[in-house]
Amino acid sequence: MIRHTLLFLAGAALAIAPAFADGDAAAGQASYATCIACHGDNAQGNKALNAPRLNHLEPVYIAAQLHKFRSGARGGEGATATAKTMAPMAAVLADDAAVVNVAAYIAGLESPASTATVEGDTNMGADYYNQFCGACHGAGAVGNPALNSPRLAGGDDWYLQAQLLAFRSGERGAHPDDKTGKQMRAMAMILPNEQAVRDVVAYLHSLGQ
Ligand code: HEC
Ligand code: HEC
């Protein structure tokens, strides 16, 4: 029953992702200088600053999130303190071209998988993932840009956990202009409890990069 609902949602709500023009990574390198202090020189992330790894993400998703931070759809009123830290940083980027270029630069960077910090039952997590998440995020959690769904494999486990909790509390995905966040918010709320959040995150981390 739930499976059918998910397939319906995946088909109906996410039919068309707009075309995305690739940015100029060389031009984006200069803007990335502002980001290094928190995200690191290879966009490997820095847990002590709550700044996540970024280099596993598709440029289209990085740019979409930067646009949300710039418009206030993410990181505005009612958001987590960490999202509010990021919003003014996205505002530093000069224009839409700068957003797309820095996204292209970040996606070309590399770093090893981060270490596990969240404990959970990976078998339970795999069950939850296959039942509730895979339709959008794909087998192996590699993401599906056509459904606006980001890659989760390779993401920092502490960050994935924090985002799922933020979706559940409405600190992310509740802004009226955040349509894709709203879709994900509904999905995060399907998980029965916070142990299930840890289980699915532990499973995602076990997938490696
Ligand atoms: C002061 C530290 C800081 C700086 C500088 C900073 N960020 Fe961030 N960034 C963060 C934090 C903290 C988060 C996590 C936000 C959250 O918890 O929702 C974040 C999140 C992001 C995300 C969302 C990733 C995802 O998977 O959803 C992107 C994209 C991003 N930053 C890009 C950038 C870019 C590009 C720059 C430079 C223009 C930059 N950041 C500069 C702290 C920073
Ligand atoms: C209906 C499709 C759909 C389903 C099903 C779905 N997601 Fe998502 N997910 C999305 C979309 C779309 C986004 C991007 C949200 C945005 O644009 O802010 C997202 C974003 C996320 C993020 C934030 C990643 C980041 O780097 O910021 C996490 C974590 C996540 N999903 C985990 C899950 C988990 C775990 C499940 C299963 C319980 C799940 N998703 C089910 C569509 C879906």
Cβ–Cβ under 8 Å, residues 114 and 44: yes
Domains of the chain (ranges; CATH) run 2-15+114-206 (1.10.760.10), 25-107 (1.10.760.10)
Pocket test for ligand 2, best of 184, 193, 194 (most atoms within 8 A of CB): 184
Cβ–Cβ under 8 Å, residues 86 and 168: no
- Percent residues over pLDDT 70 in the chain: 91
Cβ–Cβ under 8 Å, residues 171 and 80: yes
**Per-residue pLDDT band at 1 (split at 50, 70, 90):** very low
Q: Atom 36 (ligand 2): residue with closest C-alpha? A: 133
Residue 137 reports pLDDT greater than 60: yes
Pocket test for ligand 2, best of 20, 80, 130, 136 (most atoms within 8 A of CB): 136
Which among 209, 106, 198 is positioned nearest to 153, based on CA atoms? 209
CA of 80 to the centre of ligand 1 (A): 13
Per-residue pLDDT, averaged over 82-108, amounts to 97
Q: What is the three-class DSSP state of 31?
A: helix
89 is annotated as contributing to ligand binding? no
- Percent residues over pLDDT 90 in the chain: 88
CA of 160 to the centre of ligand 2 (A): 10
Per-residue pLDDT, averaged over 107-133, amounts to 97
